[in-house]
């Protein structure tokens, strides 16, 4: 578990690995409390999607706003094209 420093000097980035379904997964989270390397803590993973775990932010918070704008633009463009083709 290497520790990193965030822009907020009161927090540290805690990196961790876990083994599930014959694969090793790597992730990290921001902690207000420093942890010693090798210190253990609980991490629960989603059995249907082992890359999801209780220490990481949800996938929706990991997405960039740019991808949301791109998806919305494609939907609007598709609706516009369908409207023009049918009209």
**What is the reported pLDDT for 80?**
92
The token pair that represents 6 in the structure block: 């965030």
Round to whole Å and give the CA distance between 71 and 68: 5
pLDDT tens, N- to C-terminus, the chain (87 residues): 444 445 567 788 888 899 998 999 998 888 888 888 888 888 899 899 888 899 876 554 455 666 778 888 888 999 999 999 986
Q: Where are the beta strands (DSSP E) in 34-76?
A: 45-46, 49-53
Residue 81: how many CB atoms within 10 A of its CB?
10
Q: Where are the domains of the chain?
A: 1-56, 58-87
**What is the reported pLDDT for 24?**
92
Round to whole Å and give the CA distance between 45 and 27: 12
For residues 11 and 35, is the Cβ–Cβ distance under 8 A? Answer: no
* CA torsion angle 41 44 45 46 (round to 10): -170
């Amino acid at each position: 578990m290497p520790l990193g420093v965030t822009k907020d000097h009161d927090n540290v980035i805690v990196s961790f690995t876990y083994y599930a379904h014959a694969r090793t997964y790597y992730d990290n989270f921001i902690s207000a409390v420093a942890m010693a390397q090798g210190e253990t803590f609980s991490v629960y993973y989603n059995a249907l999607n082992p890359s999801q775990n209780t220490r990481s932010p949800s996938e929706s918070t990991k997405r960039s706003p740019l991808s949301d704008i791109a998806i919305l633009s494609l939907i609007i463009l598709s609706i516009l094209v369908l409207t023009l083709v049918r009209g």
